[in-house]
């Protein structure tokens, strides 16, 4: 008490004390950061050689990820039979994006750049059976899915009522509330800048239907996007459509895929059976809020 | 002077004077706004019936518009032979977008929504000769051009070039100051959209893949799907025309002019087919345009 009174009355003592506390706190912060970096560098040194380390957010309740791009990338790794391990983390890449990969010490982000990197590094080409015209069509559909359909899904998930979005997030209620609120702010701004956020709900619904119809018509009765053999473009289409089916309850996307475009639904299940035979192990257990082991509706 | 001293010393007088000025200014602003609205409503009442009024920014130096979407929309109107008049204005739609249209009192914005609206209203279908599969492919290519290739152009024009060529390309309609202000806003927007997070080298690689896909699909065909043009040609032309005539020195121009000759031929073909009056749709030399001048 005497100390407190002394501090209150004695200015030079107070200043010394406060600056001492601040310097101490700063030193602690620096020390913690350096320790974390040391541990992180150690972890990176222990990454196995010639194995892709796929950094992605954690598993979902009914789907391996609540984001389409990790599913795309992981489907590609499985399709191309590239050895990989998952590192579930919220740590983004230097560009602030996720997922990203590390391969023999090299970091690459952006799902498509990861695929292009691995194609070049490992001499992989899951599109080699396609003609040049088919590749150009596949490229156009990939952009449709990743740069248009994706934004309609972001609109539905974040531009309006967040109840459905919160229900599929694999976090505890408090983290859920903060994360979803933080993401919503960012994504709504992204939607406005990109353009989708300037449309009405009715207009976005029309766009959703147009995109899914285009996909359904092009797929037709084929097993995969370009015939009986899968290709790289199937990874990105699957990643996006899987989200529609298992991560957007009550949405127009889910309704259309489930009911109006049955060939898309069959396609999604087909890709899942082909490349994700362990799907059940890649979703959360019931104790963690997941649907592992539960019968699908 | 005495009045100034009186005002300075007499607080109650000063307050009355200042508030009087403010109220007066507010009344003037309201009156001007109402007058402008009255004139605007009168103008709208005089729009011709059964004629599309296409609201777009003004003509460019060497191209009818330095934005791809007015060109897309106007090409569609010409292709479908829908009567229209242009109203060159910077006034955007209620969603803050341009171009937009008015048809018999109804306003519609977003170029694709305008086209869908007119297709429905007037029973037009420039894609009727296409199969369902071709329409699905056309839809995918339209999205590629408008939601992906478009952003590489935005980055080139407004971020890498910092809007330096826009004042000249627009024939002075956009001042250098405006171009700088727009350029500052576009960078963060492109970052939010996603493409702006890549390095310039990565964006150029993305650009090349998009242009290659277009060139490869077009091949030796006259238009995107053969000998007959379709709706999708409007949107591809709108964007590629920018590369050729309003992005001097850009990788877009180099690719369109030199590396992918079938795309260059295609752009000229669409122009000759639907814009025989192209020369009248660009600015005159006195306005900073290239009307009448030989193309390089």
Q: Do A140 and B135 touch (CB under 8 A)?
A: no
| DSSP-based three-state secondary structure for B251 | helix
How does residue A228 score in pLDDT terms, banded at 50, 70 and 90? very high
Pairing between strand A52-56 and A84-88? parallel
Checking A160-168 for CB contacts under 8 A at 24+ apart, the result is A160/A201, A164/A248, A164/A249, A164/A250, A164/A251, A167/A249, A168/A60, A168/A61, A168/A62, A168/A66, A168/A247, A168/A248, A168/A249
DSSP lists the bridge partners of residue A106 as: A103
Q: Peptide bond before B176: cis, by omega within 30 degrees of 0?
A: no
Beta strands in chain B (DSSP E): 52-56, 84-88, 100-103, 106-109
| ipTM of the prediction | 0.87
What tokens were used for B236? 């591809």
Cβ proximity of B202 and A113 under 8 Å: yes
DSSP B295: P
Q: Report whether pLDDT(B115) > 90.
A: yes
CA closest to A194 among chain B residues? B193
Reported as a single tens digit per residue, the pLDDT across B22-53 is: 999 999 999 998 988 888 888 888 899 999 99
Interchain contact A232–B (C-beta under 8 A):
no
In this predicted structure, what is the pLDDT of residue A11?
Answer: 66
- Closest CA in chain A for residue B188: A193
Q: Does B140 sit within 8 Å of A137, measured CB to CB?
A: yes
Helix (H) or strand (E) run with residue B212 in it: helix B200-218
The listed range with the strongest mean pLDDT (A10-19, A138-147, B20-29) is: A138-147
Residues composing chain A: 297
- In chain B, residues with a C-beta closer than 8 Å to the C-beta of A214 are 135-136, 139-140
Cβ-contact A238, A78 below 8 angstroms: no
Number of other CB atoms surrounding residue B18 within 10 Å: 11
* Chain CA centroid to CA A112, Å: 13
Tens-digit pLDDT profile for residues B238-292: 999 999 999 989 999 999 999 999 999 999 999 999 999 999 999 887 777 878 7
Nearest to B137 among A110, A137, A203 (CB): A137
Strand B84-88 relative to strand B52-56: parallel, antiparallel, unpaired?
parallel
Which is nearest to B244 in space by CA: B217, B268, B276, B262? Answer: B268
Instruction: Choose, out of B94, B144, B184, the residue to mutate when testing the contact with A (most A CBs < 10 Å).
Output: B144
Q: pLDDT at residue A297 above 70?
A: no
Q: In this complex, is the C-beta atom of A131 within 8 Å of any C-beta atom belonging to chain B?
A: no
Q: What's the pLDDT tens digit per position in A281-291?
A: 999 888 777 88
Pair type for strands B84-88 and A52-56: unpaired
State how far the Cα of B103 lies from the Cα of B54, in Å rounded to an integer: 9
Q: What Cα–Cα distance (Å) separates residue A274 from each residue in A234, A242, A263, A289?
A: 12, 14, 16, 26
Q: Per-residue pLDDT averaged across A218-222, rounded?
A: 97
| pTM for the predicted model, two decimal places | 0.88
List the strands of the sheet with A84-88, edge to edge: A84-88, A52-56, A100-103, A106-109
SS3 category, B82: coil
Contacting residues of B for A211, CB less than 8 Å apart: 139, 143
With pLDDT > 90 as the criterion, what percentage of chain B qualifies?
66
Give pLDDT, residue A177.
Answer: 82
Query: How confident is residue B122, by pLDDT bands cut at 50, 70 and 90?
Result: very high
> Mind spelling out the 3-state secondary structure of chain A?
CHHHHHHHHCHHHHHHHHHHHHHHHHHHHHHHHHHHHHHHHHHHHCCCCCCEEEEECCCCCCCCCCCHHHHHHHHHHHHCCCCEEEEECCCCCCCCCCCEEEECCEEEECHHHHHHHHHHHHCCCCCCCCCHHHHHHHHHHHHHHHHHHHHHHHHHHHCCCCHHHHHHCCCCHHHHHHHHHHHHHHHHHHHHHHCHHHCCHHHHHHHHHHHHHHHHHHHCCCCECCECCCCHHHHHHHHHHHHHHHCCCCCHHHHHHHHHCHHHHHHHHHHHHHHCCCHHHHCCCHHHCCCCCCCCC
* Whether B216 and A132 lie within 8 Å, measured CB to CB: yes
Instruction: Report the range of poorest mean pLDDT among A122-136, A262-276, B168-182.
Output: B168-182
Q: How confident is the model at residue B104 (pLDDT cuts 50, 70, 90)?
A: very high
Taking all residues of chain A, what is their mean pLDDT, rounded to a whole number? 91
Which carries the bigger pLDDT value, residue A237 or residue A40?
Answer: A237
Tens digits of residue pLDDT in A37-86: 888 888 888 899 999 999 999 899 899 999 999 999 999 999 999 999 99
What's the mean pLDDT in B147-167?
92
Residues 189-208, chain B, touching A (beta carbon < 8 A): 189-190, 192-194, 197-198, 202
Q: Let me know if A73 is exposed, middle or buried by CB neighbors in 10 A (0-12, 13-18, 19+).
A: buried
Torsion angle of C-alpha atoms A66, A67, A69, A71, degrees rounded to 10: 10
**Of the given ranges (A50-59, B15-24, B129-138), which has the lowest mean pLDDT?**
B15-24
């Amino acid at each position: 008490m005497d100390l407190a009174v002394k501090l209150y009355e004695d200015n030079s003592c107070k200043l010394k004390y406060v600056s001492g506390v601040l310097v101490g706190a700063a030193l602690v912060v620096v020390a913690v950061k350096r320790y974390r970096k040391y541990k992180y560098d150690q972890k990176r040194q222990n990454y196995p050689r010639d194995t892709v380390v796929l950094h992605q957010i954690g598993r979902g309740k009914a789907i391996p990820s609540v984001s389409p791009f990790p599913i795309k990338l992981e489907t590609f790794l499985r399709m191309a039979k590239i050895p990989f391990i998952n590192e579930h983390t919220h740590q983004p890449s230097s560009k602030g994006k996720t997922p990203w990969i590390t391969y023999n010490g090299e970091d690459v982000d952006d799902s498509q750049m990861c695929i292009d990197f691995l194609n070049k590094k490992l001499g992989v080409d899951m599109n080699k059976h396609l003609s040049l015209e088919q590749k150009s069509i596949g490229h156009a559909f990939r952009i449709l899915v990743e740069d248009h359909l994706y934004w309609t899904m972001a609109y539905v998930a974040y531009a309006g009522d967040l109840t459905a979005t919160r229900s599929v997030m694999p976090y505890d209620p408090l983290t859920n509330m903060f994360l979803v609120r933080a993401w919503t702010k960012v994504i709504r701004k992204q939607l406005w800048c990109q353009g989708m956020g300037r449309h009405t709900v009715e207009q976005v619904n029309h766009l959703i239907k147009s995109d899914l119809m285009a996909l359904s018509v092009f797929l037709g009765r084929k097993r995969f996007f370009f015939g009986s053999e899968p290709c790289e473009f199937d990874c990105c289409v699957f990643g996006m459509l899987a989200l529609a089916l298992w991560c957007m309850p009550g949405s127009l996307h889910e309704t259309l895929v489930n009911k109006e475009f049955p060939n898309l639904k069959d396609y999604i299940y087909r890709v899942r059976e082909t490349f994700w035979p362990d799907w059940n192990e890649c979703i959360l257990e019931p104790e963690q809020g997941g649907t592992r082991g539960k019968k699908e509706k």
